[in-house]
Amino acid sequence: MFYCRINNHLKGAFDILRLGFWYIYTHTHKHCTSLFSFKLWMGAHPKGDALIKDNRISQRTLGQWIADFPGCLGSKVKDTFHGQLPFLFKVLSVKTALSIQAHPNRELAARLHAQFPEHYPDNNHKPEMAIALTQFEGLCGFRPMDEILGFLKKVPEFRALVGNEAAEELQSADGDPGRTSLALKKCFTRMMNCEKKLFVDQLNMLVKRISEEEAAGKDTSGSNGELLLRLHSQYPGDIGCFSIYFLNRILLQPGEAMFLGANEPHAYLSGDCVECMACSDNTVRAGLTPKYIDVDTLCEMLNYSPAPVSAKLFPCVRDNADPCVYLYDPPVPDFTVMRVQIPASARQYTVSALDSAGILLVIDGEAVATSAAALSDITLTPGSVLFISANESVSLQQPCKSRLIVGLGQRAAPVSRFGSV
């Protein structure tokens, strides 16, 4: 167990600063997307390798430590992921929407990295999970057909970009999943590839119409008016503003999560969250961003399966053996996330030894951490980050109503091995 200094991508950390996270300005990411969002990296990815904060250990990164002592990962993780930490932790504070995007599967990631390494820096897939710290707003997956068809009728500016032919084809395909997927792909691709003058003119017309309706006191929810105006104010003239008519708008409450598998279209709009993902930085973008966009790849790769927003919520499971532990276990082997909420009455809590390395992040509360492998106690406060080797338990003394997030690189790690209060 040792303390980590964590890579931060400082871009205006409003609510995260309120939560009390600490930052050490090292290894700052060289390309920041916005002055109104913030990303904090915790892991061993080459673009944001954490530094070990321990005066008894010579200056090195977490990745270097793992390379020297691969056994710290646990035998199964070490063998499965070739001696690499398989996951990456992030904290995000989003004030300005982050891009319309999707992440490739392994096959596509390898191909994109081989062809365009300057844009796709590794060959790994990037399934990810977002767990809300505050109310968190995003876009995720294609809306149900009736909602998309409803917007095509209510929002003529949107229909103008899709085109009558494609819109009618989508209408006639309703009820046939195979035809629906193809027709939805055609509609989305046509919109994303329409001429700039056309979509800018239609967007300006839509903004003008909704603004006038709002000024007159009319209800603009049928046109998703509030969100449209907000995105346009952040990214004027951006085709991504129209994506709100295709994609589900999801609102997560603290502790709720969404899992984003390969090829799932999504965007983060506002709020604070913890992300856990496979150790990759591969993102295909096509709107609401100043970064490199790859419209053709995005339109070709997406999962065009309409589903209600309720299907996008990822459930957590409370551990029967330890009521303090909530498990988020996605259908990928790269990571599992545990949320630990320690009651105020607890005087001691043990994070039991597991067969996987983990990264522990303190969300709030304070405690003193001790471990047989550590040479001294470590005082934990909000924003503290610990790397915990496999088969190492950590005792927290006087945890003071602490809330912890623990990322693990071992999906099968038994939850019941977390110590009880």
Q: Along the 421 residues of the chain, how does pLDDT read in single tens digits? A: 555 555 444 333 333 333 333 322 222 233 334 445 677 889 999 888 888 887 666 778 999 999 999 999 999 999 999 999 999 999 999 999 999 999 999 999 999 999 999 999 999 999 999 999 999 999 999 999 999 999 999 999 999 999 999 999 999 999 999 999 999 999 999 999 999 999 999 999 999 999 999 999 999 999 999 999 999 999 999 999 999 999 999 999 999 999 999 999 999 999 999 999 999 999 999 999 999 999 999 999 999 999 999 999 999 999 887 889 999 999 999 999 999 999 888 899 998 888 999 999 999 889 999 988 777 888 888 888 899 999 999 999 988 777 888 887 754 444 333 332 2
pLDDT value of residue 295: 98
CA pair distance 409, 421, nearest whole angstrom: 24
Q: Which residues are annotated as a binding site?
A: 101, 103, 128, 266
What's the CATH architecture for 317-417? Sandwich (2.60)
Q: Is the pTM of the predicted complex or chain greater than 0.85? A: yes
| Residue ranges covered by each domain of the chain | 144-245, 317-417
CA-based end-to-end distance of the chain: 21
Nearby residues of 385 by Cβ (< 8 Å), 6 or more positions away: 3, 4, 6, 42, 50, 359, 360, 361, 362
pLDDT of residue 69: 92
Backbone angles phi, psi at 387, to 5 degrees: -95, 125
Alpha carbon distance 400, 341 (integer Å): 10
- Under CATH, domain 144-245 is a member of which superfamily? Phosphomannose Isomerase, domain 2 (1.10.441.10)
Strand order in 367-370's β-sheet? 348-351, 394-397, 367-370, 378-380
Q: For CA atoms 115, 264, 298, 46, give the dihedral sign.
A: negative
Q: Radius of gyration of the chain from Cα atoms?
A: 23
Q: CA torsion angle for 344, 345, 350, 351 (degrees, to 10)?
A: -30
Domains 144-245 and 317-417 in one fold = no
Residues tagged active-site: 285
Binding-site entries for Zn(2+): 101, 103, 128, 266
Please choose, from the candidates 277, 278, 280, 202, the residue with its C-alpha nearest in 3D space to the C-alpha of residue 239: 202
Q: How far apart, in whole angstroms, are the C-alpha atoms of residue 213 and residue 407?
A: 47
Would you state the pLDDT for residue 59? Answer: 73
Kindly state the tokens that stand for 336. Answer: 């599992």
- Long-range pairs, 410-413, Cβ under 8 A, ≥24: 410/74, 410/76, 410/77, 410/336, 410/354, 410/355, 410/356, 411/329, 411/332, 411/333, 411/334, 411/335, 411/336, 412/76, 413/336, 413/354, 413/355, 413/356
Which tokens in the block code for residue 170? 């989508």
Residue 203 CB coordination number (10 Å) = 22
